[in-house]
Structure 1
Amino acid sequence: MSRLRKPFIICLWLAFWQTAAVLVHNSIMLVGPFEALLALWSLLPSADFWRSVAGSFGRISAGFLLAFAVGILLGSLAYTAPFLEEILEPFMLFLKAVPVASFVILALIWAGSRNLSVVISFLVVLPVIYVNTLAGLQSTDPKLLEMAVVFRMPVWRKIRFIYLPALVPHLVSGCRIALGMSWKSGAAAEVIGLPEHSIGEHLYMAKIYLETADLFAWTLVIILVSAVFEQMVLFMISRLCPQRGEVTHETADL
């Protein structure tokens, strides 16, 4: 029964969406899920569709992955050097507080429209990854660290069997938030910057020509692509954490 609950909820919301579209009865104001899916189906054979999806995916995912790497690096350095944490705190607060629109305008001047979504995704994701990395490392069990010192555990084993199990849950939680934020902000940046062969460009054109069905179709594309990318990233992060058998074997070796 629990397996049918999620499909039932999805169908319920689709029915609500279709009912709203019927009641509005204005294809410019709102279209139903069937019209949106038909519009998406008509876009699939187009080479420009796949070029735009690939372009946006490449730029936004590049911004996310770069922020992911830099966030983990800065978080690790701040954990080992508390003074650096104090230095970085105002900068991270600044990144979290400044509106995305301000970043978009500044980045458009500095980086141009082509790399705009890369910069925006990076700036939006960086503080989230940094904060969660620092929190994960700070949550490491001090007794395990003392044990590692007593048994003279090598640094790479401490990282794998002590730090990573504490860090991974925080990274997963942070990525669930950051991934959605990166695609929302990246797509919004593309709508403003209008780089060629991008999803944002097609969203803007759909708005200009009042093609609401295409607008919903491209929105569905963003949701699907971001969901696939999220599962890929979360799977890779989950593989960082050692399996229970590995931890048991390591403990036995000690």
Structure 2
Amino acid sequence: MLDVGGTGGVRDRTGRTGVGARPPRLTRRVRAVVAVGCWLVVWQVASVALDQPILLVGPWEVLVRLVELVPTGAFWATVGRTLADVVLGFTAAALVAVALAAAAAASRWVDALLAPLIATTRATPVVAFIILVLLWTDASHLATVVAFLMALPVLYTNVLEGIAHRDARLLEMTRVFAVPWPRRVAAVDVPGVLPYFVAGCRTGIGLAWKSGIAAEVIGLPVGTIGEQMYQAKLFLATADLFAWTVVVVVLAALTERVVLALLERARRRLAGEPAPPLVDPAGGAR
């Protein structure tokens, strides 16, 4: 609601004044930019104080190295290879997690059988999985397998939790009125589970990227970001190491934003709401 004050102009419900109060999203972006800027200053000061480029380079040196890397075809081939492997592993984990959680929710026996497997997968160090996969097969798709194994327990647990917390009254109504299974899934199951699945995706995407890159650094599949990071460490090319780390952070953030935007579009479509654009008119991808 808007309130017209005597001297303060137009005021919205949050207390901001002016002709067209600033949207909260813009405020969050300003805070984010300021926060990133502060940490970049801290990084630069630490680099200058240490004065050891082999140990810590400044943000300017990293930016220069990124400008040199990005226009090359080898850079995009490397990024594409790692991106495909990690996204494939996460997507497979999401599909398998949904299927297993649905089966576990439908049968206590399935739940009991899967519980120790999921607990073991969650507790096993990522290095152990990397070594086992290297023993069983080559390193060509190591990142895919490891990303799958790391994301699966988180997604499975969240989806199972979401199924358990569906609206009991709506479920009872669907039983009383004999609502067909497809309509019940679209109207009750998906809206009830989706918030839990989204939370699992936020965590699972980060795990998939961290474990996938770790697998590449150890297994050294050719033409991957992990291989480039290992080569940078081997030749003490600290600027390269930081540059590739920045690339991984950006890729992980973009992956999360795209996945969450697609899930939001799916939710709105099921709810009969207009789907938001994937690109925000105010600037930037949603």
Q: Are the structure 2 counterparts of residues 16 and 5 from structure 1 closer, same or farther at C-alpha, using a change threshold of 3 Å? A: same
Partner residue, 2:239: 213
Which of 66, 72, 77 aligns to 1:46? It is: 72
Q: Contact (CA 8 Å) 2:187, 2:270: kept in 1 or not? A: no
AA matched with 1:185 = S
Q: CA deviation at 1:157?
A: 1.1
Which of 62, 67, 78 aligns to 1:36? It is: 62
Partner residue, 1:251: none
CA RMSD of aligned residues (A): 1.4
Which protein has the bigger helix share?
A: 1
1:26 and 2:55 are equivalent in the alignment: no
Partner residue, 2:110: 84
1:202 and 2:228 are equivalent in the alignment: yes
1:68 and 2:68 are equivalent in the alignment: no
Alpha-carbon separation, structure 2, partners of 1:206 and 1:227: 23
Secondary structure of the equivalent of 1:180?
Answer: helix
Q: Percent identity?
A: 39
Alpha-carbon separation, structure 2, partners of 1:242 and 1:7: 30
Q: Contact (CA 8 Å) 1:148, 1:158: kept in 2 or not? A: yes
Q: Are the structure 2 counterparts of residues 117 and 245 from structure 1 closer, same or farther at C-alpha, using a change threshold of 3 Å? A: closer
- TM-score, L = length of structure 1: 0.94
Alpha-carbon separation, structure 2, partners of 1:45 and 1:64: 28
Q: Contact (CA 8 Å) 1:136, 1:168: kept in 2 or not? A: yes
1:135 and 2:161 are equivalent in the alignment: yes
AA matched with 1:106 = L
Equivalenced residues, count: 247
AA matched with 1:225 = L
Q: CA deviation at 1:243?
A: 5.6
1:147 and 2:177 are equivalent in the alignment: no
- TM-score, L = length of structure 2: 0.84
Alpha-carbon separation, structure 1, partners of 2:211 and 2:51: 31
Q: CA deviation at 1:111?
A: 2.5
Partner residue, 1:250: none
Q: CA deviation at 1:246?
A: 3.1
Moved more, 157-166 or 203-212: 157-166
Question: Larger Cα Rg: Structure 1 or Structure 2?
Answer: 2
Higher relative contact order (CA 8 A, sep 6+): 1
Q: Contact (CA 8 Å) 2:229, 2:244: kept in 1 or not? A: yes
Which of 172, 184, 187 aligns to 2:210? It is: 184
